[in-house]
Amino acid sequence: MIVSRYILLYTTTYLFNVIVIQFTESGIDALFKITKIMAYIAFQSQIR
């Protein structure tokens, strides 16, 4: 479980970097919201 969480974190970070590089400021707002949602989900799964 811990390993899969690290893999998920790595994948999310990689995708995040790719999106940041490819999109301009117009996409950052949506990106920020998505990141907050992902962080919330990760935080919730960590509590359980």
pLDDT at 29: 75
pLDDT at 48: 62
Both tokens of 47, joined, read: 């509590």
CB of 31 closer than 8 Å to CB of 23: yes
In residues, how long is the chain?
Answer: 48
Q: Is the alpha carbon torsion for 39, 3, 12, 14 positive or negative?
A: positive
Domain of residue 37, residue span: 2-47
Both tokens of 36, joined, read: 């907050």
pLDDT at 26: 63
User: For residue 38, how many other CB atoms are within 10 A of its CB?
Assistant: 15
| pLDDT tens-digit map of 14-43 | 888 877 777 666 667 777 888 888 888 888
Is residue 46 over pLDDT 80? no
Q: Which amino acid is at 9?
A: L
- Mean pLDDT within 3-13: 85
Overall domain count for the chain: 1
